[in-house]
A and B are shown apart, each in its own frame.
Chain A
Amino acid sequence: MVKNISALIGHDDVTKLVQFDVPDGEPGFWDKQYKFVVAGEKPVRRLDGMEKVTGKAKYTYDIYRPNQLCAELVLCPHAHARIVGVDASKAEKMPGVRGVMLAENLDAAMFAGWIIAMVAADTIQQARDAARSVLVEYDAQDFVVLEDDAGKDDNPIRKPSSGNPSIKGDVEKGFQEAFAVHEAEYVTQTTPHNCLETHGCVAEFKNGELTVWFSTQSLWSMQQAVAGYGGMPLNKTRVITEYMGGGFGSKLFGEQFADMCVKMAKKIGRPIKFMANRYFDSVACGNKPAAKMHVKIGAQKDGAFTAIRADCLNYPGFSGGASVATPFRSHYECPNIYTQETNVYTNTGLSRPFRAPGRPQGSFGLEMAIEELCMKMGLDPYEVKIKNVDVSPLDPRKYQFEVGAERFGWKKKFKKHGSDAGPVKTGVGCAVTYWGYSGDPGGAVCRCTLFMDGSAEVAIGCQDLGTGFRTMAACTAAETLGIDVQRIQVLTGDTDIGLVGPLSGGSKTTPTVAPAIKSACYKAQQKLFGRIAGDWDAKPEDIVCRENAVFNKENPEQKMPWNEAAQKVGSNMIVALGEHIPPPDVEGIRIGTGLRGAQFAQVEVNVETGKISCKKVVAVQDCGRAMAKAQAESQICGGVIQGVSYALFEDRIMDSVLGRQLNPQMEHYKILNAMEAPDIEPILIDVFDPVNCASAKGIGEPPHVPTAAAVACAVCNAIGKPIRSLPITPYKVLEALYGERR
C-alpha cells in the first residue's frame, strides 16, 4: 500500500510542486511548506555539552577498568627493513611486565612506525620502559619517502598503480575551441589527522563476554573486527564509543593494535588499555595524502569552460589510494573532461580518508587553474565560476554563489590581481564544493519509545565523534513528535543497544539516521493517536502534535496538551522501529546530484615578510534541511578551520636520509591556533530535496572541500602571482614575488 503525496521542493529562490508515493504508515516529506519548530530553528544546546564542559564525559582515553594493564608498542625506526630477529627476554623480566606479544606480519617493515611488538605492564611507565628494552635486529633496505624521489615508473617500493581514465566528450577538441588555455602543475602536502584523542581501545574479557571501548567511527564494523580478533561470537562481543575526541576519517578501520590488545587481554586474563602516543598516531594512523596534479583548462572568451584535463599522481604512503580527481569532474559544468589518477607509493604511513578524501586536493588544483586562467584573461573569477555552475534553476548552485558573494561583498572587495597597494595586500578568492548524497537506505534501525509522562527515548547504534550527532537525533525526534527537545533522551554509542546504525563516514550519518528517527517517532505517535482517534471520531493520520499541543487537523477544536495525550501511553510504553526508506527515484523529483556550496575567503599578505593571514571566510552550504542548526554551523566552521590550517600551515616533513617523519609531535607540526582563526560566517541554505523523508543530508565533509582552494586563490589575487603548492608559506610568497634568490 502506498499513498501519494504532493510536495513543494527546491530552495529558497526557486520551487516546484511534485507528487510521489510513500509507503502507507510512513511519514510524509518535510517540504518547503512545512515550517520547522525545533529542528533547524533556534539553536539547541548540544546534548552532551554539560558532560564535556565539566570534564565528566568519559572518552575511551578515560576508561579505567579494575585490574587494567597498560600497553605500549615497539615500533620499527627504519623506513624499510627486514626484521632479522626480536629478543624480548629482557623486557619480559622487567618490573610490572605481564606480557609481550610480537606482531603478526614481521617479515618486513614498510615504514618507520611499523608495529613490531606490544608490551603490557601494570603502569604505562613500566610498559614504555619494557618496550624500549625489546631488542630488534633489522636489515635496513633501500627506501623512498619523498614524493619527488618516488618515480612514476621505476619505484623500488611497489609498482605504481594506474587507474583507467575517466573521459567525457573530447578534451583535445575542447582545447582547440578554447580562446585561452592554461596549463600548470599543482602540488599538495601530506597532513596527518591529529585527532586530539589519539587512536586507542580498552579490551576486557569478563563472564565469557568481550567488551571493547574503542575510539571508533564505526561501532558495528568494529564489533565484527574485535570479535574476529578475540575468536568470540558476535552476540558476546560489545563495542562502546560513548564519547570520542574526533576522528575525521582516520578511525573507520580495524586496527592492528586492537587485535593485539584483544589477544593479550584474552591470554593474560586482564583488561588492557592501549592509547597511541602522538608519535604513533602521526606516523601510522592515517593522513590526507599528497598529490601532484597536472591540470589543463580551456575557456571561451566569456569564460565558459571548453575542456578540463587533470593527470593526477596520488601519494597514499605504502598502500591505498586517494581519488583527488573527483572535483575536476563534478565541481563545474564542462562538455569535455579527462581525468586520470595514478597511485605512487612511498615508505610512509598509509593514508586514510580525511574529511572528504581527495576533494580538498583536487579542489585546490582545479580552482587555482581557473584563477590563473582568469588572471591571464583579465576576468573576474567570480563571474567565470558562476557562469559555469548555472545549470537549471532548481539546482541551488548559482543561488548559493550569489548569496555568498552578496554577504561577502565580493563586488566591492575584488580588485585586479596584484593591484592592491600593499605592503599588506588584501586579496579575495572563491571556490565551490560538491558532495554526492550518501544516505544508506536500510543502513539504520532506530527505536522510539514513548512514556506516559510525555517523555520519549530514541535509540540508535551509532557514534557521536563530536559532530553533534546526539543533538541532531534529539532535534529530529522532537520535530517529528512536535514536543520540546528537552523531553527527548538519546541512547547511542553502544552495540548493546542492538540497533544497527551507519558508520560515520561519507557524511552519511544524518541522511541515514534522521529519516529512520522520523519514521520511528511517527509510527510510535500514530499508535498513540490511534487511541485518541476513537474519542474524536478522527483518523489517526489527521491528528498531529505541534509545540506540545495535540489536535485534529480536520477539526482544530478537538485538542489536548501533549502531556494529557501521553497518559494514554499507559505503563507499557509505546515502542516503534523506523528505517530510512528513500522515496522512489522518480524522474524530476531530485534536485541536482548532491550537496553544493560555495566559499569566499579574504586574506592579507605582507609582501615584505611574506606573512599571510586569513581574515574572513563566508561559507554557503546546502545540507538539505539542517536538523540541528547550531551544530550544523559548527560543522561548517570546523571544516573551514581545518581548510585554512591545511592551506597555510600543516605539512608532514619527511627526512630523506633518516626515512622518518621529522615533525610527528605537535610541537613541530603547525596547526592553526586561536590567534590565527579567521572570522567565519556560515550560511545554511535550505534545500528541499526528497532524498529522504526528512530532507536531511550530511554536512561533515562538504564544507572542508573548497576552503584551501579559496584561500589559495585569495593569495594569488592579493600578490598577483600563483603559489602552486600547499601549504602557502611566507617563504613561498617571497619566492613567488622576488624569485628564488632574493
Chain B
Amino acid sequence: MPDKKGNHSEIPDGVSRRSFLKGMGTGAAILPALGKTVEAADLENRFGPEPAPITLTINEKIYHLQVEPRETLIEVLRNRLNITGTKVVCDNGSCGACTVYLDGAPVYGCMMLAVKAQNKQITTIEGISQNGKLHPVQEAFIEADALQCGFCTPGFVMSMAKVFEENPKASLIEVKQGLAGHICRCGAYAQIFKAAENVSKRNGG
C-alpha cells in the first residue's frame, strides 16, 4: 500500500488503454508467440523499432515514407505528411475528433497504427469534397452554423457524411446514433442536428 506521503511504486504518466494495446500489438509482431518457434521469414520481416518504410494511400494519392512502427495513423498524417485537417483530441478513442475512413469505413485514427493502414484506402476530411465542391454535409454545417471553434468539426463531418451515405434520408435519431462517439466542447449540437435535418430534407427525407 502506498503511504499517505505518496511514496508508492511509480505509475507512468498517461498510460492509456491505447498505448498499452499499441505496445501489445507491435510486441506481438516481433516476439515469437508462446510455444512456437520463430520462422526465419518473420525475422526478415521484422519491423522497427527504428523507422521502417511503409506505403499509404491517402485521398487517392500514394505516399512512400519512413515511420516508426508505434506511430499512429493520425500522427503520421499530421507529423510526417503535414495533412492536418484531422485532429487528435483525447488520443484514446473517446471523442471522435480523429475520425477518418479506412476503405470507406469510419475509424478512430488515434487508435490505429499507421503500419496497419497499409493496402487500404484512407480518406480524410481533405478528401471528402469532390472536384472542389463541398460535400453536402460540409455545406450544411456552414449553413446551420454547426461549428464554433471548429476543432471537432472534421470528425463530425466525416461521421455524418457516412450516416447519409448509408441512408440518404437518415432520421435525427439515426444521425445522433451515428455521432454518439463524438464530443463538441463548444456545444454546437443543436446546430449540428439542424445541419443533419437539412441534408435529410434535401435528400427527400
Contacts and interface: CB of A to CB of B under 8 A. Distances in A.
A49 B87 contact: no
Interface string B176-200: 1101111111111111110000000
B109 interface: no
Contacts of A638: 148, 186-188
Interface in A144-201: 194-197
Interface in B48-100: 68, 70-71, 75, 78-79, 82, 84-87, 89-95, 97
Interface string B110-145: 000000000000001110010000100010011101
B134 A77 contact: no
Interface in B139-184: 141-143, 145, 147-154, 157, 176-177, 179-184
A468 B148 contact: yes
A45 B138 contact: no
B89 to A, nearest CB: 5
Interface stretch (B3-11, B28-36, B37-45): B3-11
B161 to A, nearest CB: 11
A631 interface: yes
A52 to B, nearest CB: 3
Contact of A53 (B16, B70, B147, B181): B147
A57 interface: yes
A421 interface: no
Contacts of A679: 190
Nearest to A112: B6
B151 A54 contact: no
Contacts of A635: 148
A278 B87 CA distance: 13
Given A46-B145, A467-B148, A658-B2, A196 B180 contact: no
A673 B79 contact: no
B180 A54 contact: no
A143 B2 CA distance: 13
Contacts of A672: 187
B204 interface: no
Contacts of B150: 48, 51-53, 57, 243, 245, 466
B201 interface: no
B153 A53 contact: yes
A664 B14 CA distance: 8
A672 B90 CA distance: 15
A538 interface: no
A680 B190 contact: yes
Contacts of B89: 196-197, 278, 666
Given A48-B150, A195-B185, A466-B150, A666 B138 contact: no
A44 to B, nearest CB: 9
B170 to A, nearest CB: 13
B14 A279 contact: yes
Nearest to A80: B6
A665 B16 contact: yes
Nearest to B142: A49
A703 B184 CA distance: 17
Interface string A597-625: 00000000000000000000000000000
A506 B143 CA distance: 29
A77 B142 contact: no
A54 B14 contact: no
A465 B186 CA distance: 10
A124 B192 CA distance: 34
A328 B140 CA distance: 42
B94 A54 contact: no
Given A80-B6, A197-B151, A630 B190 contact: no
B176 A53 contact: no
A45 B141 CA distance: 10
Most buried by B among A54, A70, A197, A671: A54
A665 B89 CA distance: 10
A264 interface: no
A80 to B, nearest CB: 7
Interface residues of A, number: 76
B149 A675 contact: no
Given A195-B185, A657-B4, A54 B125 contact: yes
Contacts of B93: 667
A639 B149 contact: no
Contacts of A48: 150
B147 to A, nearest CB: 5
A195 to B, nearest CB: 6
A335 B49 CA distance: 72
A677 B10 contact: no
Contacts of A141: 5
Contacts of B134: 50, 53-54
Contacts of B183: 196, 666, 671, 673
Nearest to B143: A45
A53 B68 CA distance: 30
Nearest to A74: B13
Contacts of A45: 142-143, 145
A55 B84 contact: yes
Contacts of B145: 43, 45-46, 49, 468, 630-631, 633-634
A263 B187 CA distance: 37
Interface string A643-674: 00100000000000111000011110001111
B17 interface: yes
B138 A53 contact: yes
Contacts of A80: 6
A226 interface: no
B84 A49 contact: no
Given A53-B134, A277-B14, A279-B14, A674 B189 contact: yes
A62 B143 CA distance: 25
A55 B125 contact: yes
A637 B188 contact: yes
A46 B147 contact: yes
Contact of A52 (B75, B147, B177, B190): B147
B149 A634 contact: no
Given A53-B134, A244-B149, A468-B148, A657 B2 contact: yes
A238 interface: no
A125 B68 contact: yes
A124 B91 CA distance: 14
A59 B151 contact: yes
A665 B185 contact: no
Given A49-B142, A196-B184, 19 more contacts: A46-B145, A52-B153, A54-B126, A57-B150, A125-B70, A143-B5, A195-B149, A196-B87, A196-B152, A248-B185, A278-B90, A633-B145, A642-B187, A666-B183, A667-B16, A667-B90, A672-B187, A673-B181, A674-B184
15 contacts: A45-B142, A53-B138, A54-B85, A54-B129, A55-B86, A56-B126, A246-B148, A246-B149, A468-B148, A638-B148, A645-B187, A658-B8, A667-B92, A674-B179, A674-B189
Interface of A: 43, 45-46, 48-59, 61-62, 64, 70, 75, 77-81, 123-125, 132, 140-143, 194-197, 243-246, 248, 277-279, 465-468, 630-631, 633-635, 637-642, 645, 657-659, 664-667, 671-675, 677, 679-680
Q: What 3 A-B pairs are tightest by C-beta distance, nearest first?
A: A55-B85, A466-B149, A641-B187
